[in-house]
Amino acid sequence: MRSLFTTNGLLSSMPYSNVYVKFAGTFNRTVCVYTDGIIVTCADMAVSCRSVLRALSRCRRQLLITSTPSSLSASQNAARPHPIRSYAAAAKPAQKPRKEKGTTKDVKEEEKKKKQKQKIDDTGRHKPYGLTAWAPVDDVYLVRFYPKPVYDAEVAVDMLKNFQRLDFTPEDQPVFIDLQLDMKLEKKKKVDPFVSTVHLPHPFKKDLNKVVVFTENPEQARLATENGANIVGGAELVEKILEDEITADFYVAVPEIIPKLVPLKNKLRKKFPKSKRGSVGVNILKMLELFKTGHEYMVERDCYIVTQVATLNMPKEHILDNMRAIVQDVASHKPAEFGPLIERAITSSKTSEGLHIKCDTFLPQEVKEEA
């Protein structure tokens, strides 16, 4: 406001911008207060000074609202009060420095090396790393403070038989073997998890496996029936299998009928005929001979095999022969130049603890030629 009237008709200066009060005259007793686009008129000179100040305060509030310059304002260069901001803008996040090309691969390789467990060589040490000693002194000790003993397969089988006599458990309980595999090949390649069927030298099952043969050839159907196939048929068996009217241990098929068996994939799942498992082929006699008396095992959880090899009431030599047949068949799934496939082997019965065994004795040993 540039000027303010007084009761004696004189104008006084006030530091208000774009607002001024004009004394219209003493005869008509009219006072006009001008702002940017706003006119306040006091019609009576006898109005109290309080009313005038109230009107001026309302005019001052309008200054906080930005508006276009008015032709009535006295000066556009005068200082204006600005509203106070009670908040702060969020700071922009700092930009990450760009990585140079070629460094990301190095970082990933370093992270992989850190994640990999470093194998500590304990040879020549007075005790294993992180354990108390190589062997306990007393006959009663805490197992976690000493390395797990690794027994010969013959000794482990004798211990399992001794456990059964001491615990008064059934004599015909199953004997299992647990194998951990090293599936790595060169670079990033790995051995694919596999399913295999092997002939055990001494079968432990009393009954033969039930086999279903899928074929529409009358001659092949006759051969399959004569050689011990339980059920032989074509596409008409699909609905019976879906309705659980037919169940079997193995399903064998010829290549021509596979497209008609697609509805059975979700039903049979792992038992569905596949060429990798040897259940799809032309030689029906050979497949029947394998699956009627064969023992099937598979790789589970990427690198583990747990399968039954015998019963505890069988002679020790028969149990060892069955172990040897399975270990040799498992080891044949990895080329020899990439190292051994079996990392560790554990045998146990249904009610006993697991015993680590040496499986190298089951594998064929290389004969060194003397010069």
What pLDDT, in 10s, does the model give residues 272-288?
999 888 899 999 999 99
pLDDT of residue 339: 85
Is the pLDDT reported for residue 352 higher than 70?
A: yes
Residue with tokens 């702002």: 35
Is the pLDDT reported for residue 248 higher than 70?
A: yes
Is the pLDDT reported for residue 55 higher than 70?
A: no
Mean pLDDT of 112-123: 63
Angle at which helices 316-331 and 153-167 cross, to 10°: 130
Structure tokens at 303: 């690198």
Q: What is the pLDDT of residues 314-328, one digit of tens each?
A: 999 999 999 999 999
Of the pLDDT bands very low, low, confident and very high (cuts 50, 70, 90), residue 295 is very high
Is the pLDDT reported for residue 78 higher than 80?
A: no
269 DSSP assignment: G
Q: Which regions of 93-183 does DSSP assign to beta strands (E)?
A: 150-151, 174-181
64 DSSP assignment: G
| Nearest CA-CA partner of 145 in 156, 129, 125 | 129
pLDDT of residue 46: 45
Q: Which regions of 8-103 does DSSP assign to beta strands (E)?
A: 11-13, 20-25, 30-34, 39-42
Mean pLDDT of 296-325: 94
Name the least confident of 33-42, 80-89, 109-118, 194-203.
33-42
Q: What is the pTM of this model?
A: 0.63
Is the pLDDT reported for residue 150 higher than 60?
A: yes
Q: Is 20:3 a contact under the CB 8 Å cutoff?
A: yes
Q: What sign for the dihedral angle of Cα 263, 269, 274, 280?
A: negative
167-171: long-range contacts at Cβ-Cβ below 8 A with a sequence spacing of 24 or more? 167/351, 167/352, 169/349, 169/350, 169/351, 169/352, 171/312, 171/313
H/E stretch holding 306? strand 304-311
Rounded Cα distance between 59 and 39, Å, is 9
Percent of the chain with pLDDT over 90: 43
HEC string of 194-240 equals CEEEECCCCCCCCCCCCEEEECCCHHHHHHHHHCCCCEEECCCHHHH
Of the pLDDT bands very low, low, confident and very high (cuts 50, 70, 90), residue 3 is very low
What is the number of H-type helices and E-type strands within the chain?
A: 8, 15
Q: What is the pLDDT of residues 187-229, one digit of tens each?
A: 788 888 888 999 999 999 888 899 999 999 999 999 999 988 9
Higher pLDDT pick, 85 / 350: 350
| Nearest CA-CA partner of 308 in 175, 190, 166, 153 | 175
pLDDT averaged over every residue in the chain = 78
Residues in Cβ contact with 168 at an 8 Å cutoff, skipping those fewer than 6 apart: none
Rounded Cα distance between 67 and 38, Å, is 12
Percent of the chain with pLDDT over 70: 65
Rounded Cα distance between 157 and 313, Å, is 11
Mean pLDDT of 149-171: 94
pLDDT of residue 167: 92
Q: What is the pLDDT of residues 16-53, one digit of tens each?
A: 444 444 444 443 444 444 444 444 444 444 445 566 66
pLDDT of residue 172: 93
pLDDT of residue 207: 87
Is the pLDDT reported for residue 309 higher than 80?
A: yes
Is the pLDDT reported for residue 92 higher than 60?
A: yes
Rounded Cα distance between 95 and 137, Å, is 63
β-pair partners for 310: 175
pLDDT of residue 239: 92
